[in-house]
Chains A and B, each alone.
Chain A
């Protein structure tokens, strides 16, 4: 397997052919920190979108900050939060899982009304309670695609959520928004993703190929791209 290394991203992986063993979920975290989903970015909203694998990548970012000793607030809207991945990533970094698990604070929303309430009402007080500045919003749109909720109501809720996000970003909260692509049958609700992209300071798309996953940042003077070998991804 040939590792393609592009642009400014320095993945610390080498193939076994070239003599350096690919050994590392922890390297992935380090790489992420310096890259697309960097948690050292200037304040603002970063959107990471793509197939369902984006949620794992979002969790990697959460673990990375937790390893640095920073409290992380994780708002789960897609019901895919995997605490065992957190434990595995901690162990890979030679840190006791409990230490990392205690730094990531989760709240799950199962309906769009709960999701919006979480962002608008609960998140500001949680930021104060946990003295946190870093938020991962995983699947903010998933519950809004629920066809049982009338579209005008979903639109209203989406606007309320976006207003709250804008306000939080202005308060210097670091926000990583992780979102799956809109489902085919989302109809008028497919505009949510476009609006979210428009509001984000940076937009990174994840794409999957057979041997690797691609992260590609849109916009800027020249598009940037990073690659995660499938071999490593499957070991997470």
Chain B
């Protein structure tokens, strides 16, 4: 295993650790003979021995053959060959990535501060971490970063537009221009001279690195992207995948050896939690930084579970085979439910408090010992205290499960970061603690989904059902406690409650949270007190409430916004800006009466934006709509706007797959000829126009959702903000005469 070390003297050292990975197989003697025949033909040294190991939840160990491969580079091909040749054998530990196995085995983690003993030839004699991945006060190693970006006006350079290369290092920015040979030579000089530890790019995976490598190959020029000259650059093709009911696109990967390549446009972790959060995730999950930046958070939580299993000496199955136990449809109806939701009372409300259970689902898994092997265990089936509320499952009261053991330290560490964040006096430190706690929050969030995910190594649907059953029970308990103390429930969704009680102040809500925590055994806190909060109605039926769609003004002046355009990735910037300005104006009102007084100014904002649109002043950036393709472009049957934009891009040679985003502008949304309806942003030149009416409609909808509960109707909104109607404008300006708003 090649390990890159950064010495205290600043030297970058390539070391080799003689790591020997192992796998296991269970098979009858006849198949074992075949395995031995194959192993004898292997070109590297192989060790075998008969051992006994436990499967997760098994009462007795099973005899297995342990196979040690003394050339890690051959481990994957050898195990795949075994799997193909002996399909009836059961394999274990065969598909865990070797860097992860190395980290588990050596009790190391990415970017760990280590003590090493190394020979002059670079062979590691020993390596030991001097810190724990559960420490919260660790520092960043002094890594040097070189940034590369395309200088391209298009939202996605893969969709068109020619560009130069922008390079940044140590706060200095330069543009690499000229012919291809010049660009490659100057970049190579920079890479050799500066020898950066991290190559931080924009569009590096899908655009920059593939093009730079092609250019260098065609010109036969060296390009030292890799620090490790012994290795080639890792490449993964783009692909689409499903996650939480949505199809997403992954831009592929270009990974480096001896140096890290991180692409800001191909990393959920970097976008959500920054570099500090990414490093935190890599440390606790033991997934190497380049992979952690590109993979799903679920891979991280899986790695933590695999490490727990390895530490306990459990076998990690190659494929999960255990299906759901048979249950009657009646039981299915009772058990297969999600979290509990109490629909909101539509409208604006004053002096509301929000209480949130802290990391509710993972906390339930830990507190009630929910894990694939503990649900419906044999030992506790008659124990009434082991019963899961409402449904017929029970959880083990004797043996702590693998999932709770994995999650407990995560919950604890996140709580410590939150305390550190609250106590931090330096803004920079607060930002770092926040990024780190966000990194852990995401691991905790996906830990629940992975209990029911089909490919989760340690998932089981009954465990998933048990978590939601507990959550429904706990939310009901919280509601009962609150109502007993005179609070009125306005809305509740899974782990959050919005409550109101005349005259209640912060200490009352804190006291209520304390009582609920004592009653349920799960920590609940006051998220905040709102001066006012508006639960917004359905756009289809104004009488219909919509869970988790609200705007609220906290008593400290910040706003919490959910479910409206400003939070949506597919709303045009112009609409988001208009909605943000309206909300800012509404936030000037501290009471409902003051809120109503802001309506004329809010309407004036909309009127200004409508005039901006009507006068043709809106820019491409303001109008661009970003949509994700929900299927492969050729699978669309109808000419949706995103499909038309995709067709335009395809015709220009752009490669698209399901999950890719397209950026377009509505040019004539109702045109008879589909290609006239939209234009892809990347193809827009000097001659373009936009559909004023279509954008005007979006703008009015974004305003109406906020103002309807204040009594503004669609008609009154349209008339009172009509930029061509001076009379209405004057009447609003002079005192809201034509409008009525009852709450």
| Co-complex (A, B) | yes
Residues of B close to A83: CB separation below 8 A: 329, 332-333
Residues of B close to A86: CB separation below 8 A: 329
A135 CB, min distance to chain B CBs, angstroms: 11
Q: For chain B residues 69-100, which have a beta carbon within 8 Å of chain A?
A: 83-84, 87
Query: Is B326's CB under 8 angstroms from A106's CB?
Result: yes
Query: Is B323's CB under 8 angstroms from A102's CB?
Result: no
Q: For chain B residues 303-325, which have a beta carbon within 8 Å of chain A?
A: 319-325
Is A122 an interface residue when CB atoms closer than 8 A count as contact?
yes
How many residues on chain B are close to A (CB under 8 Å)?
A: 20
| B80 to A, closest residue via Cβ | A150
Per the bound structure, the CA–CA distance linking A114 and B323 in Å amounts to 5
B123 CB, min distance to chain A CBs, angstroms: 37
Known: A101-B333, A156-B87. A115 touches B323 (CB 8 A): yes
Partner of B323, one of A104, A118, A148, A153: A118
Query: Is A106's CB under 8 angstroms from B455's CB?
Result: no
Is B328 an interface residue when CB atoms closer than 8 A count as contact?
yes
Is B735 an interface residue when CB atoms closer than 8 A count as contact?
no
A137 CB, min distance to chain B CBs, angstroms: 13
Per the bound structure, the CA–CA distance linking A130 and B331 in Å amounts to 15
Per the bound structure, the CA–CA distance linking A152 and B333 in Å amounts to 37
Indicate with 1 or 0, residue by residue over A73-94, a CB within 8 angstroms of chain B CB atoms: 1100000010100100000000
Q: For chain B residues 420-461, which have a beta carbon within 8 Å of chain A?
A: 454-455, 461
Query: Is B327's CB under 8 angstroms from A110's CB?
Result: no
Is A98 an interface residue when CB atoms closer than 8 A count as contact?
yes
Residues of B close to A116: CB separation below 8 A: 321
Query: Is A122's CB under 8 angstroms from B321's CB?
Result: no
Residues of A close to B324: CB separation below 8 A: 107-109, 114
Query: Is B87's CB under 8 angstroms from A107's CB?
Result: no
Is A224 an interface residue when CB atoms closer than 8 A count as contact?
no
For the A-B complex with A105-B329, A113-B321, A129-B326 known, give 8 more contacts whose Cβ atoms are closer than 8 Å: A83-B332, A98-B330, A106-B326, A107-B327, A110-B461, A111-B319, A126-B326, A153-B87
Query: Is A152's CB under 8 angstroms from B84's CB?
Result: yes
Residues of B close to A110: CB separation below 8 A: 454, 461
Per the bound structure, the CA–CA distance linking A107 and B324 in Å amounts to 5
Indicate with 1 or 0, residue by residue over A188-231, a CB within 8 angstroms of chain B CB atoms: 00000000000000000000000000000000000000000000
Query: Is B330's CB under 8 angstroms from A107's CB?
Result: no
Q: Considering residues A106, A109, A118, which has the most beta carbons from chain B within 10 angstroms of its beta carbon?
A: A106
Per the bound structure, the CA–CA distance linking A150 and B499 in Å amounts to 53
Is A56 an interface residue when CB atoms closer than 8 A count as contact?
no
| B461 to A, closest residue via Cβ | A108
Q: Considering residues B87, B319, B329, which has the most beta carbons from chain A within 10 angstroms of its beta carbon?
A: B329
Residues of A close to B87: CB separation below 8 A: 153, 156
Residues of B close to A118: CB separation below 8 A: 323
Per the bound structure, the CA–CA distance linking A21 and B323 in Å amounts to 44
Query: Is B329's CB under 8 angstroms from A101's CB?
Result: yes
Query: Is B319's CB under 8 angstroms from A102's CB?
Result: no
Per the bound structure, the CA–CA distance linking A117 and B454 in Å amounts to 14
Per the bound structure, the CA–CA distance linking A81 and B330 in Å amounts to 13
Indicate with 1 or 0, residue by residue over A143-171, a CB within 8 angstroms of chain B CB atoms: 00000100011001000000000000000
B656 CB, min distance to chain A CBs, angstroms: 16
Q: Considering residues B320, B325, B327, B332, which has the most beta carbons from chain A within 10 angstroms of its beta carbon?
A: B332
B313 CB, min distance to chain A CBs, angstroms: 24
Q: For chain B residues 13-29, which have a beta carbon within 8 Å of chain A?
A: none
Per the bound structure, the CA–CA distance linking A98 and B332 in Å amounts to 12
| A82 to B, closest residue via Cβ | B329
Query: Is B326's CB under 8 angstroms from A104's CB?
Result: no
Query: Is B328's CB under 8 angstroms from A101's CB?
Result: yes
Query: Is B329's CB under 8 angstroms from A104's CB?
Result: yes
Query: Is B326's CB under 8 angstroms from A105's CB?
Result: yes
A150 CB, min distance to chain B CBs, angstroms: 8
Residues of A close to B332: CB separation below 8 A: 81, 83, 106
Per the bound structure, the CA–CA distance linking A222 and B455 in Å amounts to 46
Query: Is B323's CB under 8 angstroms from A107's CB?
Result: yes
Residues of A close to B84: CB separation below 8 A: 152
Per the bound structure, the CA–CA distance linking A11 and B324 in Å amounts to 37
Partner of A113, one of B320, B325, B328, B333: B320
Query: Is A114's CB under 8 angstroms from B329's CB?
Result: no
Query: Is B326's CB under 8 angstroms from A111's CB?
Result: no
Q: For chain B residues 525-544, which have a beta carbon within 8 Å of chain A?
A: none
Per the bound structure, the CA–CA distance linking A118 and B321 in Å amounts to 9
B296 CB, min distance to chain A CBs, angstroms: 14
B384 CB, min distance to chain A CBs, angstroms: 24
Per the bound structure, the CA–CA distance linking A107 and B332 in Å amounts to 9
Residues of B close to A152: CB separation below 8 A: 84
Query: Is A73's CB under 8 angstroms from B323's CB?
Result: no
Instruction: Provide 9 A-B residue pairs closer than 8 Å at the C-beta atoms, listed in order of the A residue.
Output: A81-B332, A100-B329, A108-B323, A111-B319, A114-B320, A116-B321, A117-B322, A122-B326, A130-B326
Residues of B close to A100: CB separation below 8 A: 329
Known: A153-B87, A156-B87. A111 touches B454 (CB 8 A): yes
Residues of B close to A108: CB separation below 8 A: 323-324, 461
Residues of A close to B327: CB separation below 8 A: 105-107
Per the bound structure, the CA–CA distance linking A117 and B319 in Å amounts to 11
Query: Is B461's CB under 8 angstroms from A104's CB?
Result: no
Known: A111-B455, A152-B84, A156-B87. A106 touches B329 (CB 8 A): yes
Per the bound structure, the CA–CA distance linking A83 and B330 in Å amounts to 8
Q: Considering residues B87, B319, B327, B330, which has the most beta carbons from chain A within 10 angstroms of its beta carbon?
A: B330
Please list the 3 inter-chain residue pairs (A to B) with the smallest Cβ-Cβ separation, ordered nearest first: A110-B454, A101-B330, A114-B323
